[in-house]
Amino acid sequence: MAVLAAFAVPHPPLIIPVVGRGEERGIQATVDAYDEVGRRIAELAPETVVVSSPHSIMYRDYIHVSPGAGASGSFAQFRAPEARYEVTYDTELVERLCALCIDEGLDAGCEGERDPSLDHGTMIPLHFIQKFMPLEAVKVVRIGISGLSPAEHYRLGALVQRAAADLGRRVVYVASGDLSHKLLAEGPYGFAPEGPVFDELTCDAFASGDLLALLTADPGLCERAAECGLRSFQIMAGALDGTPIRAELLSHEGPFGVGYAVAAFTPEGDEGTDGARRLLPRYLAWRRGDLDDRRAHEDLFVRLARASLESWVRDGKRVRPTPALLDRLASEAVADGMTPEDATIQADELASAQAGAFVSLKIDGQLRGCIGTIAPTCGSVAEEVCQNAVSACAHDPRFLPVRKDELDSLVYDVDVLGEAEEVAGTDGLDVRRYGVIVSCADGRRGLLLPDLDGVDTVDEQVSIAAHKGGIDLASDDYRLERFEVIRHL
């Protein structure tokens, strides 16, 4: 058995005594559970500890594995330079893992390292391991997270298991990550209702061992909860792929407003034996069903955006929103359950109204493109939607053009904008109700839509909009406008 055990652990810097200076006693249950993890790892005497950390190098479309012979780091940024750690990397295991990633077409490897020093998400688990065994007795592999899908993170974990088995390496997997950062109003990040929900979902998965919930968690809920460790936990789930496990939630607390959970997963049989859980097929079946359900419930605005985008990607042709096309889309929507009255109202609005519109694309909850117009530039909303759907998939400078093999995975939002009105200050804004436009007299202008996951305050909303427009809120003379939207899903 290559993977001897796996552990999910948090990484609050104050848990290190020279950093916490007594504050660590406020999370004593976490400290005690962490000590238990350190003891268990020492008893297992692994040859290699694989650590995934959200604070290692991160890319949107690539999972980074730390290269080189080893690394060191300290808590100097937390005013404790004396807390220092140094490890030797398992270069043979890294080499094998990267080769498997190439063979399997997984976007992961050792390219693009910006800072070789150990991050605190890695050093805190090392601190508790070091309490029970010298770090010189074990080698380390360090893995970051990315903006890729849950399936890709899970696949990487499964390849960690394969690489360890290929080399006959005794491995312990440690998934470093906090839970929600928004458990208490008085906490450093404030409160969001989704915070406790996320913690409960994750702790239930840790306690039951049903790790599929870590892959199917709603991305919007996770974003609003300001979670930290989910993708690290998804890699861990992959490292246990096909292995029956005994799951234990050793502790969970959040007295400082951030959720800290410690969990242990012990294999109880060989890979592929009865009771083993291969989650990837279950996840892909769930995802396909979720996407099919979403598609069946799309309204006419979204169906039109999809028709325009798919025509462009498949055939390089722009769609003209003719009455015949709108009638066909309306008939399809009615067949999927929309009332004929609603279909007629939406078709008439698309054909006759004029307004700015944004088309947003997501895959697995991650933005894949978003382009729009603040005011109408076409003769109808329908033309606006068709034009901006093509722009979102092909001309958003943040992304490569959408590929044909991505079409079935896209989730669409279409926002139709109301008329903008100037406001005297941020008191006239509401991050959930209003979008915001920040503009200067010289033509610089930035816009942000309302009710976006991860944007929880007016100050955040205005700051992001200003940044998009190249506007310095501290020095530029700017004005604020607000607008409402009708969001079509």
| Rounded CA separation 309/328 (Å) | 17
Predicted local distance difference test score (pLDDT) of residue 23: 96
Three-class DSSP labels, 232-259: HHHHHHHHCCCCCEEEEEEEEECCCCCC
- CA of 140: how far to CAs of 129, 212, 465, in Å? 12, 27, 42
Q: What is the pLDDT of residue 274?
A: 45
User: Could you tell me if 352 and 207 lie in one domain?
Assistant: no
C-alpha to C-alpha distance for 344 and 331, rounded to whole angstroms:
10
Taking the alpha carbons of 155, 195, 55, 169 in that order, is the dihedral positive or negative? negative
Residues 224 and 339 in one domain: no
- Give the end of a domain, one of 390, 411, 432: 411
Number of domains in the chain: 3
Bridge partners for 359 per DSSP: 371, 414
Same domain, yes or no: 181 and 229: yes
How many residues in the chain?
489
Tokens at residue 259, please?
């959720």
Mind listing the pLDDT tens digit of every residue in the chain (489 residues)? 699 999 999 999 999 999 999 999 999 999 999 999 999 999 999 999 999 999 999 999 999 999 999 999 999 999 999 999 999 999 999 999 999 999 999 999 999 999 999 999 999 999 999 999 999 999 999 999 999 999 999 999 999 999 999 999 999 999 999 999 999 999 999 999 999 999 999 999 999 999 999 999 999 999 999 999 999 999 999 999 999 999 999 999 999 999 999 999 999 866 554 444 689 999 999 999 999 999 999 999 999 999 999 999 999 999 999 999 999 999 999 999 999 999 999 999 999 999 999 999 999 888 999 999 999 999 999 999 999 999 999 999 999 999 999 999 999 999 999 999 999 999 999 999 999 999 999 999 999 999 998 898 999 999 999 999 999 999 999 999 999 999 999
Residue 292 lies in a domain: no
Domain final residue, candidates 389, 411, 433 = 411
Phi, psi of 447 (to 5 degrees): -130, 145
Q: Give the integer Cα–Cα distance in Å for 234 and 237.
A: 5
Report the CATH number that the domain containing residue 311 is assigned in CATH. 3.30.700.20
* 140 found inside a domain: yes
Strands 357-363 and 421-423: unpaired
DSSP codes of every residue in 173-240: EEEE---BS-B-TTSTT-B-THHHHHHHHHHHHHHH--THHHHHS-HHHHHHTTBSSHHHHHHHHHHT
Cα 231 to Cα 262: distance, rounded to the nearest angstrom: 16
- Per-residue model confidence (pLDDT) at position 456: 87
The answer to the question of residue 291 being in a domain is no
Residue 481 lies in domain: 418-489
Same domain, yes or no: 407 and 431 = no
Same domain for 373 and 430, yes or no, is no
